[in-house]
Each structure stands twice: as structure tokens, then as C-alpha cells.
């Protein structure tokens, strides 16, 4: 019945299957909210525990799902960029979410920037789960405006209308017009309207005040989710945070939301098998399309390689050879990411230079986080050490890789003690 209702939203009231029918159930409807992956498909970082990743998200949702009484929604912005790797990422996420029972995936501005052709591909891969309440019907574009998963009618909008319309070149309408249409359908079908919003907290507050009939708004935010929902009138405002590191679970029963949980996707959740299979397909595509070899590489810095460095700097070389920096590429290879252009810059030397790392076979001396990752290109220093000096390491050398995302709580003084030389 749930699949049928998605395609004939106006038939619900006539069938007598509106909110009144669904509220009779003694089992609450579980609402699981995710979104704003921004291309973060896997946990990434140098501190433990690392959190996030699409494989853990699917497993967590599976464990939290109540069969027949669960609605799963994603706020979109599957990726952040428009490169070929971003396209493959977006297709992978869409396919995994569609195969895992997600009911609606909002079209975000970042998704729209991939273009209408790729958006239609994402819709097909997700089994038609994309929604954009602002997009109007046009030939060949079958993306739905609204999704129904009783007791909910799901609206999906972006606060900035142009952020959807311009990159797609498709007819779109203002968010307020689209919301009003959705609310009317919800009223006709005796359904509870909830909204996926590609907009920030202030946008969510504004829409909640303009449209008090909306019972819940998921919005975009940076960092971890709020500890509890914010309430504007009868509208709950929630956000799962950024980078796909969390999901939200909330119950809905007898017209009220309750039992809100913000769930960190840590190692307590194993990789869901089907998601893991599709993820391996993603890595295979990244490799087979030779994205690493296609990276732009300006002809600038020249590197000597760590083995050249340690020939003179023996004490420092001994410290480095026993450090995790030395094993950085091997660690990546163990996860299947040793040909991933997203990951390699912080695991090898000089990936953005024509003289930098290419492969273990071609440039073994530039594998791992080597001497020149921190001290800079050293070929000229190795030839004329008295004339060409390299800089000493400072926190500025570290924070390009040890970001607040990959190394929460990073402290140069604390970490330096582990590799002092």
C-alpha cells in the first residue's frame, strides 16, 4: 500500500486512509532523518573513533527501523563538488539509499549543480526517490514534487529558488508557492506535512512562522546536531548536522513527536553488507576510470623522496620509520582507498605536483606521509644542503590535513611529542 500511495497522493482522502486512520495504530511511526553528506561516503580521520559513512548509516537505520512503521528521509546535497568523482559519489549514495528503503531524497543546490542529466540518473538509481517541490513538470523530467509515506506528506524545497532553477535550466517555483501546494495536498489527504529544507536555521524559523501547519522541518547545519528539537509554535526544527556523521530518530504518534535521538555513526555500527557491496563498486569505478591519473599536476615542486632524506638525517629517519606517518598509505590501502584522489593528498608526498607521487611502483620514495610532506620539497636541499634550507615544522604544516573534521581536538604541541625529531 505504501508504494501505491506515493504515486496517487490525491486518492488518500477518498479511500479513507488519512491521518485519522494511521493514528489508530498502537505503534508509533518512526521518522529517521539524514542528509547533507557533502560527498563524505566513509569515515575519515586520524583520531579515534572516526564517525560517519554511508555503510554505517544504512546499518544504523536498519537497526532502528520498525517494519511497516518507519519513514526514512534525506535532505540531499549528496556531494559538494561537480567533478567526475563527485558524480560517481552521488550515484553511489542515491543507489544505496534507494536500495535501503529511503522514502524521499530532497534535491539540494549541490545536487542541482550536477546538471539535469545527472539528476535524472540519480532519480533512476534511487528508484524514483528524489523530490523537489519547486520543480514543475516538464517533458522527460519525472522527479516528484511530494512524497507520501503515511502519516506524512513530505515537502522538499531550497530556500534559494535560483540555486535549483538556474543550474538545472528547468522551470521552478518559489519555495512558498510549493509549500502552499504541499500543505493543501496534506490537508486534502488528512496527512501530517513535514519538510526537507535546503536552508539554514534562520530559514527554518522563517518558514515555520509563515507556515505553522508544517509539523517538522529538517534544515542544514554545520557540526553535530542540536541536543533536542527546537519548537516554533507546533513546528519542530531538527538538523542531522553535517558530513553524514549522524542521523536523527524521532517517534510520531497521536499528532505528536517524541523520543528524539541524535545518533553518532561510530564503530558500534558495522558496515551494512549491501551498502558495502555497492561501495566497493564505487571504489572500483574510481580506479577503472583512472581518476588518479587524470588529476591536474602543475610542473612545480621537485621532491627527493624520504629515503634520500634519511640517508643524512638518520636519527630523524628512525623516528619517522616507526611512526604512523610512515604507514599512512598502507593504512589507506587496507581500506581500499589507495587509488582515491580524495584521500591520497594526505597520505602521500606531492600528489598535486608533476614530480609527486604516482604509484608505489613508480614513486615508492613518496609513499606515506614523508619528510617532504612537512618540510617541503627537498630535491634542491639534497643537492646543495648548505645553500638551500628547509623550514622547520610548525602547526601550519599540519592543519591542512589535521583539520577539525579529520582530527577533532588536534593540538600541535601534543601530537608533536609523538614524532619529535
Confidence band, pLDDT 50/70/90 cuts, at residue 126: very high
Answer whether 368's CB lies under 8 Å from 386's CB: no
Within 246-334, strands assigned E span: 246-253, 256-264
C-alpha cell at 25: 495504530
Residue 270 CA to its chain's centroid (Å): 18
Q: Which helix (H) or strand (E) holds 198?
A: strand 192-198
User: Which domain-ending residue is among 218, 247, 282?
Assistant: 282
Mean per-residue pLDDT for 137-159?
93
| Residue 227: exposure state from Cβ atoms within 10 A (0-12, 13-18, ≥19) | exposed
User: Which domain-ending residue is among 282, 314, 345?
Assistant: 282
Q: Is the pLDDT score of 6 beyond 60?
A: no
Same structural domain, 233 and 312: no
| Residue 202: exposure state from Cβ atoms within 10 A (0-12, 13-18, ≥19) | exposed
Mean per-residue pLDDT for 403-420?
81
CATH number for the domain spanning 364: value is 1.10.1130.10
Same structural domain, 135 and 225: yes
Torsion of the alpha carbons at 55, 61, 67 and 70, rounded to the nearest 10 = -130
The pLDDT, as a whole number, for residue 25 is 59
- Give the residue carrying C-alpha cell 540519480: 122
Lowest mean pLDDT segment, chosen from 137-146, 178-187, 285-294 = 137-146
CATH number for the domain spanning 243: value is 3.60.21.10
Torsion of the alpha carbons at 274, 276, 279 and 280, rounded to the nearest 10 = -110
Lowest mean pLDDT segment, chosen from 6-10, 161-165, 333-337 = 6-10
Q: Is the pLDDT score of 176 beyond 90?
A: yes
Q: Is the pLDDT score of 3 beyond 90?
A: no
Which comes out higher in pLDDT, residue 289 or 171? 289
Mean predicted lDDT score pLDDT of the chain: 90
Answer whether 157's CB lies under 8 Å from 196's CB: yes
| Radius of gyration, alpha carbons of the chain | 25
How is the beta sheet containing 235-238 ordered, strand by strand?
146-149, 152-158, 192-198, 216-218, 235-238, 230-232
Same structural domain, 167 and 142: yes
Same structural domain, 356 and 250: no
Same structural domain, 62 and 206: yes
Query: Does any domain span residue 290?
Result: no
Evaluate the omega torsion of the peptide bond into residue 351 and state whether it is cis, within 30 degrees of 0.
no
Separation CA 39–CA 88 (nearest Å): 10
Separation CA 394–CA 194 (nearest Å): 49
Same structural domain, 266 and 340: no
The pLDDT, as a whole number, for residue 16 is 34
Query: Does any domain span residue 325?
Result: yes
Residue-wise pLDDT for 30-69, tens only, equals 999 999 999 999 998 887 889 999 999 999 999 999 999 9
The pLDDT, as a whole number, for residue 420 is 81
Answer whether 116's CB lies under 8 Å from 45's CB: no
Q: Is the pLDDT score of 141 beyond 90?
A: no
Query: Does any domain span residue 289?
Result: no
Among 334, 332, 339, smallest CA distance to 293 is for: 339
Please count the structural domains in the chain. 2
Answer whether 153's CB lies under 8 Å from 193's CB: yes
CA max distance for the chain: 87
What 8-state DSSP symbol labels residue 396?
A: H
Same structural domain, 197 and 313: no
Mean per-residue pLDDT for 305-325?
89
Query: Does any domain span residue 93?
Result: yes
Same structural domain, 206 and 346: no
Q: Which helix (H) or strand (E) holds 112?
A: helix 109-112
Q: What size, in residues, is the chain?
A: 421
Q: Is the pLDDT score of 279 beyond 90?
A: yes
- Give the residue carrying C-alpha cell 511530494: 146
Q: Give pTM, 2 decimals.
A: 0.90
Q: Which residues span the domain enclosing 173?
A: 2-282
Same structural domain, 243 and 305: no
Residue-wise pLDDT for 110-121, tens only, equals 999 999 999 999
Same structural domain, 274 and 315: no
Query: Does any domain span residue 127?
Result: yes
Query: Does any domain span residue 115?
Result: yes
The pLDDT, as a whole number, for residue 324 is 87
| Highest mean predicted confidence (pLDDT) among 137-146, 180-189, 406-415 | 180-189
Answer whether 32's CB lies under 8 Å from 71's CB: yes
Same structural domain, 222 and 272: yes
User: Which domain-ending residue is among 221, 254, 282?
Assistant: 282
φ/ψ of residue 230, rounded to 5: -95, 145
Query: Does any domain span residue 293?
Result: no
% of the chain surpassing 70 pLDDT: 94
Query: Does any domain span residue 397?
Result: yes
CA distances to 173, 197, 230, 232 from 204, in Å: 18, 7, 10, 10
Same structural domain, 40 and 182: yes
Mean per-residue pLDDT for 350-369?
92
Confidence band, pLDDT 50/70/90 cuts, at residue 403: confident
Amino acid at each position: 500500500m505504501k508504494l501505491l500511495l506515493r504515486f496517487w497522493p490525491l486518492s488518500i482522502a477518498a479511500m479513507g486512509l488519512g491521518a485519522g486512520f494511521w493514528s489508530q495504530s498502537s505503534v508509533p511511526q518512526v521518522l529517521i532523518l539524514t542528509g547533507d553528506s557533502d560527498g563524505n561516503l566513509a569515515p575519515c580521520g586520524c583520531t579515534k573513533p572516526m564517525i560517519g559513512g554511508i555503510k554505517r548509516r544504512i546499518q544504523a537505520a536498519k537497526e532502528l527501523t520498525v517494519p511497516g512503521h518507519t519513514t526514512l528521509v534525506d535532505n540531499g546535497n549528496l556531494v559538494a563538488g561537480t567533478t567526475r568523482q563527485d558524480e560517481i559519489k552521488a550515484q553511489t549514495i542515491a543507489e544505496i539509499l534507494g536500495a535501503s528503503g529511503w522514502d524521499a531524497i530532497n534535491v539540494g543546490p549541490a545536487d542541482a549543480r550536477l546538471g539535469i542529466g545527472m539528476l535524472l540518473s540519480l532519480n533512476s538509481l534511487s528508484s524514483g526517490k528524489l523530490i523537489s517541490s519547486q520543480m514543475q513538470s516538464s517533458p522527460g523530467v519525472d522527479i516528484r514534487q511530494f512524497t507520501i509515506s503515511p502519516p506524512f506528506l513530505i515537502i522538499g524545497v531550497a530556500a534559494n529558488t535560483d540555486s535549483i532553477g538556474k543550474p538545472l535550466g528547468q522551470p521552478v517555483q518559489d519555495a512558498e508557492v510549493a509549500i502552499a501546494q504541499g500543505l493543501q495536498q496534506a490537508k486534502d489527504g488528512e496527512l501530517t506535512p513535514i519538510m526537507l529544507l535546503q536552508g539554514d536555521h534562520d530559514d527554518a524559523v522563517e518558514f515555520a512562522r509563515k507556515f505553522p501547519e508544517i509539523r517538522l522541518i529538517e534544515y542544514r547545519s554545520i557540526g553535530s546536531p542540536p541536543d533536542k528539537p527546537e519548537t516554533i509554535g507546533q513546528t519542530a526544527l531538527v538538523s542531522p548536522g553535517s558530513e553524514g556523521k549522524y542521523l536523527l530518530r524521532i517517534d510520531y504518534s497521536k499528532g505528536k513527536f517524541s523520543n528524539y535521538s541524535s545518533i553518532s555513526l561510530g564503530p558500534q555500527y558495522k558496515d551494512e553488507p549491501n551498502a558495502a557491496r555497492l561501495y566497493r563498486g564505487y571504489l572500483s569505478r574510481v580506479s577503472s576510470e583512472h581518476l588518479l591519473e587524470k588529476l591536474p599536476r602543475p610542473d612545480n615542486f621537485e621532491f627527493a623522496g624520504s629515503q634520500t632524506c634519511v640517508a643524512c638525517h638518520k636519527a630523524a629517519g628512525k623516528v619517522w620509520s616507526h611512526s604512523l606517518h610512515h604507514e599512512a598509505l598502507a593504512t589507506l590501502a587496507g581500506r581500499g582507498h589507495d587509488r582515491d584522489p580524495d584521500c591520497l593528498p594526505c597520505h602521500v608526498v606531492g600528489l598535486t605536483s608533476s614530480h609527486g607521487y604516482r604509484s608505489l611502483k613508480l614513486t615508492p620514495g613518496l609513499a606515506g606521509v614523508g619528510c617532504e610532506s612537512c618540510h617541503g620539497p627537498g630535491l634542491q636541499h639534497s643537492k646543495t644542503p648548505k645553500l638551500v634550507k628547509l623550514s622547520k615544522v610548525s602547526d601550519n604544516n599540519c592543519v591542512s590535513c589535521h583539520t577539525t573534521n579529520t582530527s577533532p581536538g588536534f593540538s600541535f604541541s601534543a601530537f608533536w611529542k609523538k614524532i619529535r625529531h
